[in-house]
Structure formats: structure tokens, C-alpha cells
Amino acid sequence: MPLKWRLGDAMREIEDIYLKVRELLSMGYIYAPASLASEFDRIYKASDAYKGLSDSKRAEHDRSVAVVSSLLDLCRDLSYYVTSTFNALKDVDSELDKDKLKDLFGLLTFLVDAMTEKVVNGWLVKIARDMGGIPASAFDYYNEFKEKWNALLNELEIRARRLGVEVSIKERAKELGVIAR
């Protein structure tokens, strides 16, 4: 493994990954996180679990929706800046040592870690489990997202390793752990 990497070469090595992360966060796909959050909230508010909540618990849920919406906006915006930065660096012909390259990859791993921990596992999975089950269509859309997201995370780690950089993604999108109705 080389001790130094050409910056442009490293960015080209992971270009398709950071572009796919941005696309998943910013496009209006039915399985995109923003669409899933909206759908899960709609389903939850129509559920017996929600109807049985006290007013204060309903207000708490509404605040959590606002927080998730803000996190989704932040992650989408960060993905734009990460993508713009990485695209600009593709044309840079300087060398980076392994530690600096790892720091640069940290921009992308921070984004996917925050998204996975706070939005996907911390909210989507929790809401689905609170309901005990969700409609089959929402279940399928989540699974489609989960497969695409986890594949991107796995590929990011593989490509980084190929460059001699050990990046660690904290967690993967979890199974919902509920039944599809």
C-alpha cells in the first residue's frame, strides 16, 4: 500500500459512492429517508399506539418529527457540500498521506453515521417498533432503502481499505423488527 495517495485519484475512487449518498438523501424516491419519515409519521398518527398517547406524548412525538426533519435537511445540505468539495478535489494533483486521507474520508463517514444513527435507527426503526407493525408497502420501501444504504456503507469501507485507509462506519441500518401488515 502506498504511503501517499494522489488526492484526485482517491476522490475518483469513491466518487460514485458519495454521489449515491447525496442522491439517496436529496431525491424524492419513495424509499428515500425524507419520504420514509413522512410516511412513517402518517402511519403512526393513524395507529392505535398514537391514539393512546397522552397530549404531552403526542407533543413529544411532534417535536421528534421536527427534529428528524431538521436532521434530514442538515444531512441533505451536508451531502451537497461534501459532494461539491470532493468533486473539486478530483482535479487536485497533490499527495496526501494516509492520515490526512482518513480525515478527509471522515467528512463522508460523519454524514452517513449521523444519518444512520439518528434518523434511520434512532427514529424510523423506533417508530415502526412502537407501532408493532407497518403496512407492507412501507415495510418494502424501508427494506429497499436499507439494502441500498447498507450496500453503500459496505462499499465505502471496501474502497477506503483499497486506498489503505481504515474507516469505520458505526452502524448499519437495522431491520425494522416488526411484521408487515
Residue 26, pLDDT score: 85
Rounded to a whole number of angstroms, the distance between the first and last alpha carbons of the chain is: 50
Domain 4-180 has CATH 3.30.70: no
**Are the CB atoms for 27 and 72 separated by under 8 Å?**
no
Residue 69, pLDDT score: 94
Residue 15, pLDDT score: 92
Residue 70 grid cell: 431538521
Residue 93, pLDDT score: 87
146 Cβ contact partners less than 8 Å away, ≥ 6 residues apart: 120, 173, 174, 175
Residue 59, pLDDT score: 97
88 Cβ contact partners less than 8 Å away, ≥ 6 residues apart: none
Residue 112, pLDDT score: 94
Instruction: Output DSSP code: residue 118.
Output: I
Residue 22, pLDDT score: 93
Residue 98, pLDDT score: 87
Residue 171, pLDDT score: 95
Residue 1, pLDDT score: 55
Mean pLDDT (10-residue bins), the chain, 181 residues = 80 92 89 95 94 95 96 93 92 89 91 95 95 94 96 94 90 94 87
Residue 152, pLDDT score: 95
Position 27, amino acid = M
